[in-house]
Amino acid sequence: MKISKMIPSKIFVPSLEGLGKAVLMTAETILWIFKGSIPVKNTISQMVEIGWRSIPIITLTSFFTGMVLALQTGSATTNLFNEPIYVGTITGFSLVVELGPVLTAIVVTGRVGAAITAELGTMKITEQLDALYTLGTDPVRFLAVSRFLACFFMLPALTAIANIIGVYGGMTLTTNLWEVSPSSYWSEVLDFMTIKTFFHGIIKSSFFALIIVIIACHKGFNTKGGAEGVGKATTSSVMSSMVFILISDYFLTSLLVSLNIK
């Protein structure tokens, strides 16, 4: 009986409390946005940090992902049909629909989500957030709104870049390894792909952006326990974001397929 009484109090209650705080923070952020109370300078700065400065790692990751996909696809079809066929189609669909959004979100989680949590967590334990309250400034408006908007707009843009670079990486390997002409490769990519295919991944990346920034800001604002607490909050933020991204990916895919957005 004692164990059964301890489990809800130590697991479910803190989880529900954290969920409630995250929902309230998100609602407050959205309210500030609809009021038009947006710190423009901070938002632009965050867009540069989240978007522009993430391009090198996104480019490197997506380029080699496209090469690996093309290599695996070409090898498999060569073994089956004695020639590499549909390499562009399979590589393009895999990247645009699935791997592009998911890998980009995971990379941004590791780079940006961790940085947001660490930054806000450090401000929390050094009482800088309390100082903002004292000065009459709402930390959610001053710190969260800009990060919400920047992440929401920049992650789909990064996903689009990742898709293009990944498909180009697949073309680089295909044309050099199997001597397939670039025109044939791009024909395979574009012949079976519609605008809905492109938006399938972009819509998912928008939801992934919200997951990343909500968890990162929530963990940062509720950091406790000094420097060790900042480390724990950052680790928890990254792991939670990755788990929720992978779980939500299935449900978003199911929803979009049912709506014929594929």
pLDDT digits (tens, 9 = 90+) for 235-255: 999 999 999 999 999 999 999
Rounded (10°) CA dihedral 209, 212, 216, 218: 80
Q: Is the pLDDT of residue 1 over 50?
A: no
> Residue type for 41, please?
K
| Token pair of 4 as six digits | 């059964």
Q: What is the pLDDT of residues 141-184, one digit of tens each?
A: 999 999 999 999 999 999 999 999 999 999 999 999 988 889 99
The pLDDT score that the predictor gives to residue 116 is 96
Q: Percentage of the chain surpassing pLDDT 90?
A: 72
Average pLDDT, the chain: 91
Q: What is the pLDDT of residues 43-56, one digit of tens each?
A: 999 999 999 999 99
Q: What are phi and psi of 128, to 5 degrees?
A: -70, -30
**What's the pTM?**
0.92
CB-based contact 199:92 (threshold 8 Å): no
**Cβ contacts of residue 232 below 8 Å, gap of 6+?**
225
pLDDT band per the 50, 70, 90 thresholds, residue 9: low
Give the pLDDT mean for 23-36: 92
> How many whole angstroms from its chain centre is CA 123?
24
Q: Is the pLDDT of residue 4 over 70?
A: no
Query: From the CB of residue 79, how many other CB atoms can be counted at a distance below 10 Å?
Result: 8
pLDDT band per the 50, 70, 90 thresholds, residue 130: confident
d(CA 64, CA 167): 10
Helices marked H in 82-194: 87-93, 100-108, 114-125, 128-134, 139, 145-177, 182-191
Query: From the CB of residue 131, how many other CB atoms can be counted at a distance below 10 Å?
Result: 12
Q: What is the pLDDT of residues 196-231, one digit of tens each?
A: 898 999 999 999 999 999 999 999 999 998 889 999
98 vs 2, higher pLDDT: 98
Q: Is the pLDDT of residue 3 over 60?
A: no
13 vs 58, higher pLDDT: 58
Query: Which SS3 state, helix, strand or coil, does residue 180 take?
Result: coil
With tokens 């724990």, the residue in question is 232
Q: Is the pLDDT of residue 6 over 70?
A: no
> How many whole angstroms from its chain centre is CA 180?
33
The pLDDT score that the predictor gives to residue 11 is 62
210 vs 21, higher pLDDT: 210
Give the end-to-end CA distance of the chain in Å, rounded to a whole number.
51
The pLDDT score that the predictor gives to residue 194 is 86
